Structure 1
Amino acid sequence: MAYTIKINGTAHTIDADGDTPLLWVLRDILGMTGTKFGCGAALCGACTVHVDGTATRSCITPLESVGESAVTTIEAIGQTPQGKALQQAWLDLEVVQCGYCQSGQLMSAAALLTATPKPSDEDIDAAMSGNVCRCGTYQRIRAAIHHAAA
């Protein structure tokens, strides 16, 4: 079945089953590989995108549920003030180690800063708790979020 979804401000017509996870639509059909596959069960956060501004795990989000919502991926997050500030903070504070989880980390952080422009440590910990980093860069991530919010 054909679905038309809006990704990063552009409408895309997708011919796929409605239960196809948004992650695979992005990666396999549209070739947008910035969103990563981690666990496939919404436990690690590597696949995080925004659906109408809300951090959403794309690995468990069926294509048919997207409807007319606006999807934003890591490829476009730098076009928002929060995303641009976070990307710069990530560079300034050298957050990335292996980098695999970082697109999901940035997407969750951008949703946080949009909702809470001056987050506390507790706000950051709560918003980022579902994002796993095998390298343990959590302290640098928290510092970068504070840096971006400043």
Structure 2
Amino acid sequence: MSAYGFAIVQTLIIDIEPDEHVKRSMNEINAAARLRVAANEKAEAQKIIQIKRAEGEAESKYLAGVGIARQRQAIVDGLRESVMGFSENVPGTTAKDILDMVLVTQYFDTLKEIGSTSKSSAVFIPHGPGAISDIATQIREGLLQASAVN
């Protein structure tokens, strides 16, 4: 335009219309970037869910362990009180006699539980006059071996 005596200092462009191929390419680039961000966010959300689930399971197992430990402590305390009370009221009995009687009671309770459960199929348990003393001996030896290790 300088040949005609005009000098263009500034031009305002308000409507850019690139080629359709260029538009499609730019849209695909933007879409791919958004999909990449969305995939990262989704993966991060799944990671957080798995971590929270694992933390919940760990806490649940810990609390279950604490509950079992308290239950066992209560059983031991109850047995101790029973043995002491029984030996005071029945002269001539030893702690071994009392624990054998408790084991027999536990044995029959276990048989009752197995028999009353509808989902049990078949359980073979030695049963007879000598079986109870064998079971008592096995439990006692197991406890002694465990206390020797500790």
Fold match (TM-score > 0.5):
no
* Structure number with larger C-alpha Rg: 2
Given the two structures, how large is their TM-score scaled by the length of structure 1?
0.24
More strand by share: 1
| Structure-2-length-normalised TM-score | 0.24
RCO (CA 8 Å, sep 6+): is it higher in 1 or 2? 1
- Looking at secondary structure, tell me which structure has more helix per residue: 2
